[in-house]
């Protein structure tokens, strides 16, 4: 065995290793992308739930979007005003006015009040009811199915099934919007936390049909609209809707509603 050949081979390998190391070091330094240090600070200020309620994949993506100016500093629905102010301080801007929201289920047709056409015994998932007759066992095709798909989706344990319909605990709700997105009947919406009254119905059936299907269904009679002193109620497609920006919480609409479809929050 030629010792010189071995030494030469070792020297060549060592030289190549040194050369490659230097090349990668220089290339990494030249090609590295500088990350704004504020991204890490903003991410630390966010709650860390990664719920997606802000419209981004998670808190990391949200932080990057805020720093890049693609998302507002008060865009986290879970963090609320406190988190918005902390992020605004990091970014050196004003946090703006932040309105606390909560989820609300637009249905009050529980087991006692809603008429059932049959008893369903399949998979307990509201999304599966799209494939059964009438899209559910309730006579009202707009009503809450009550199988808790929203309950499983909520990361804050803020929604539960009570007497066959979903109910939101507004104190636990962080308005992430996951229940809104997953409800196949589009029954859940985000409303102001301070909203005094809401229409707990989504039925667009005409009065006689609505009354036949549910004891507390809105029948589109318009009494709520006629008696609202600030014109905060409209009736479209036989269904009342409250304009929360106008509503002053006097309760006249709920008092006059003959079916008690308008409830106090």
Residue 3, in any domain of the structure: no
Q: Which contiguous run of DSSP H or E holds residue 159?
A: strand 159-162
Percent of the chain with pLDDT over 70: 92
Which of 194, 210, 235 terminates a domain? The answer is 194
Chain length of the chain:
265
Residue 253 domain-assigned?
yes
CB 140 within 8 A of CB 199: no
Domain range spanning residue 66?
38-91
Would you say residue 24 lies in a domain? Answer: no
- What are the φ and ψ backbone dihedral angles of 104, each rounded to 5 degrees? -140, 135
Tell me the percentage of the chain whose pLDDT exceeds 90.
Answer: 61
**Overall number of domains in the chain:** 3
CATH of the domain at 212: 3.30.70.20
Question: Which helix H or strand E contains 160, and what residues bound it?
Answer: strand 159-162
For position 27, what pLDDT does the model report?
63
Q: How confident is the model at residue 10 (pLDDT cuts 50, 70, 90)?
A: low
Does residue 51 lie within any of the structural domains?
A: yes
Give me the mean pLDDT over the 223-250 stretch: 97
Residues 184 and 144 in one domain: yes
Lowest mean pLDDT among 4-13, 41-50, 129-138: 4-13
CATH number (domain holding residue 48): 1.10.15.40
Q: Which two tokens stand for residue 167?
A: 């109910």
The answer to whether residues 152 and 234 belong to one domain is no
Helix or strand run (H / E) with residue 226? helix 223-227
Q: How confident is the model at residue 162 (pLDDT cuts 50, 70, 90)?
A: very high
Which of the listed residues 142, 166, 194 is the one where a domain comes to its end?
194
**175 and 204 both lie in a single domain:** no
Domain assignment present for residue 107? The answer is yes
Cβ within 8 Å of residue 201, ≥6 positions away: 106, 107, 108, 109, 142, 214, 216, 217, 218, 239, 240, 261
């Amino acid at each position: 065995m030629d010792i010189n050949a071995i030494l030469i081979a070792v020297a060549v390998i060592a030289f190549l290793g040194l050369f490659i190391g230097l090349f990668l070091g220089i290339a990494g330094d030249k090609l590295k992308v500088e990350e704004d240090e504020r991204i890490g600070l903003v991410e630390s200020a966010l709650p860390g739930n990664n719920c997606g309620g802000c419209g981004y994949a998670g808190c990391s993506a949200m932080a990057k979007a805020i720093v890049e100016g693609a998302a507002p500093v008060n865009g986290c629905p879970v963090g609320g005003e406190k988190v918005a102010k902390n992020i605004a301080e990091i970014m050196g801007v004003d946090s703006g006015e932040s309105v606390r929201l909560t989820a609300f289920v637009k249905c009050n047709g529980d087991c006692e009040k809603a008429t059932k056409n049959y008893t369903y015994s399949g998979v307990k998932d509201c999304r599966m009811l799209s494939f059964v007759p009438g899209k559910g066992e309730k006579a009202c095709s707009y009503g809450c199915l009550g199988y808790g798909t929203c309950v499983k989706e909520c990361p804050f344990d803020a929604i539960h099934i009570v007497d066959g319909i979903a109910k939101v605990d507004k104190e636990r709700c962080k308005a992430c919007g996951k229940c809104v997105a997953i409800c196949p009947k589009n029954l859940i919406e985000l409303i102001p936390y301070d909203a005094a009254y809401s229409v707990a119905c989504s039925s667009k059936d005409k009065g006689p049909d609505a009354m036949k299907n549910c004891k507390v269904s809105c029948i589109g009679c318009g009494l709520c609209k006629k008696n609202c002193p600030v014109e905060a109620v409209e009736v479209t497609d036989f269904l009342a809707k409250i304009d929360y920006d106008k509503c002053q919480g006097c309760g006249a609409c709920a008092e006059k509603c003959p079916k008690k479809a308008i409830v106090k929050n």
